[in-house]
């Protein structure tokens, strides 16, 4: 390779990585990004003990892909950006201390600080509908064809346990969620009679725990651990925050979450509602906190940081350019002279 070409290539590589470093250092998403509506909710939240996560799905314009930013609250109460996922998150759980996310396309991802990886396909190559973790075992509601079943994931593989109750087998119209409360596997199902049927798994048999007859529409459900009590959040979607019901089998205890639509979680022994504020310019993310008796303790902004994680699409493009330059470098190397190494006396 001629020295001039070699020098130009080296200079280009240096410039390329300087530009890449600058791009990675520049924030790509603000605390309250301007987004397009991307689904039933842009925000999701999940807690486990003192661990607490929030995800925000963002879409900058109609042509761009949906990306989800993952925030984690530290023990000191500070929020950090830990990952950015291509695609929309539609559910959260935890497994072995880390966050796991249900994706809109029926896959799932394990999320860690700095990135995420795609989880193994369930048995039968079914779609993941909901997840719930219990120590070293992850449980999932899996849909294969028109059948919903419970499977468990441990040591890298899924195992079938039992089909869900017949009331949950509603095909595309099914709304079914999964939770674990005091080591019990709990399933809540929206029925065609506008009720919420709740079941616990005893061995391989589903035990009915009564039904909830909410006054609101049923657009979203979630099973929540209210200490050692089972709570079921029922929300009509974009109109109010819904309510949390407890005290099976009558489900007579109710915590009204007010008029702000959002997503709920339990973290640090508090029931929390995450919702978008009413400031149309800043669109702050807000949080209400209740104790398990239903007493409102706080209503305050969540100070989420700016994202310093570069878009995965930009990362892929930079690597493509890098390898293209390497290929150019190799192709333009001068081949050795044919006579080199031969005995000239012959």
Task: Please report the pLDDT score of residue 30 as a whole number.
Answer: 34
Q: Categorize the per-residue pLDDT at 53 as very low, low, confident or very high, splitting at 50, 70 and 90.
A: very high
Residue predicted with more confidence, 335 or 57 = 57
Task: Please report the pLDDT score of residue 39 as a whole number.
Answer: 43
Q: Does 342 score more than 50 pLDDT?
A: no
Task: Please report the pLDDT score of residue 307 as a whole number.
Answer: 62
d(CA 36, CA 40) in angstroms, rounded, equals 12
Q: Contact 284/293 with Cβ under 8 angstroms?
A: no
- Give the residue extent of every domain in the chain: 3-23+312-331, 27-301
Number of C-beta neighbours around residue 21 at 10 A: 10
d(CA 266, CA 289) in angstroms, rounded, equals 9
N-terminal to C-terminal alpha carbon distance within the chain: 30
Q: Does 93 score more than 50 pLDDT?
A: yes
Residue predicted with more confidence, 3 or 195 = 195
For residues 210-222, give the mean pLDDT: 93
d(CA 73, CA 88) in angstroms, rounded, equals 21
- pLDDT above 70 as % of the chain: 75
Q: Categorize the per-residue pLDDT at 173 as very low, low, confident or very high, splitting at 50, 70 and 90.
A: confident
Residues 6+ apart with CB under 8 A from 139: 131, 132, 133, 150, 151, 152, 153, 161, 178, 180, 185
The three-state secondary structure class of 30 is coil
- pLDDT above 90 as % of the chain: 63
Q: Which two tokens stand for residue 194?
A: 């506008």
For residues 95-112, give the mean pLDDT: 96
**CA 87 to each of CA 1, 55, 83, 136, 312: distance values in angstroms, whole numbers, following the listed order:** 44, 12, 12, 26, 11
What CATH code would you report for 27-301? 2.120.10.80
Q: Report yes or no on whether pTM surpasses 0.85.
A: no
């Amino acid at each position: 390779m001629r020295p001039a070409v070699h020098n130009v290539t080296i200079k280009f590589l240096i410039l390329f990585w300087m530009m890449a470093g600058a791009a990675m250092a520049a924030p790509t998403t603000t605390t309250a990004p301007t987004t397009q509506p991307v689904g039933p909710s842009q925000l999701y939240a999940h807690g486990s003990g003192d661990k607490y996560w929030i995800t925000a799905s963002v879409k900058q314009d109609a042509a761009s892909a949906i990306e989800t930013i993952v925030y984690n609250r530290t023990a000191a109460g500070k929020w950090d950006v830990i990952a950015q996922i291509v695609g929309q998150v539609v559910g959260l759980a935890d497994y072995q201390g880390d966050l796991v996310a249900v994706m809109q396309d029926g896959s799932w991802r394990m999320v860690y600080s700095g990135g995420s990886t795609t989880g193994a396909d369930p048995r039968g190559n079914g779609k993941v509908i909901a997840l719930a973790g219990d120590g070293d075992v992850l449980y999932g509601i899996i849909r294969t064809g028109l059948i919903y079943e419970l499977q468990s994931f441990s040591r890298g593989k899924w195992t079938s346990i039992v089909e869900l109750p017949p009331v949950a087998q509603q095909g595309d119209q099914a709304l079914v969620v999964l939770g674990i409360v005091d080591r019990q596997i709990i399933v809540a199902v929206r029925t065609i009679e506008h009720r919420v049927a709740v079941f616990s798994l005893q061995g391989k048999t589903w035990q009915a725990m009564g039904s909830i007859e909410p006054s609101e529409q049923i657009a979203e459900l979630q099973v929540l651990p209210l200490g050692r009590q089972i709570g079921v959040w029922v929300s009509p979607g974009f109109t109010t925050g819904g309510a949390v019901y407890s005290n099976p089998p009558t489900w007579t205890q109710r915590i009204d979450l007010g008029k702000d639509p959002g997503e709920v979680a339990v973290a640090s022994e508090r029931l929390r509602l995450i919702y978008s504020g009413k400031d149309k310019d800043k669109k702050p993310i807000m949080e209400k906190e209740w104790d398990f008796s239903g007493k409102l303790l706080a209503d305050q902004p969540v100070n989420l940081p700016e994202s310093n994680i570069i878009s995965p699409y930009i990362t892929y493009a930079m690597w493509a350019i890098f390898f293209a330059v390497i290929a150019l470098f190799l192709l333009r190397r001068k081949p050795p002279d044919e006579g080199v190494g031969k005995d000239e006396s012959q």
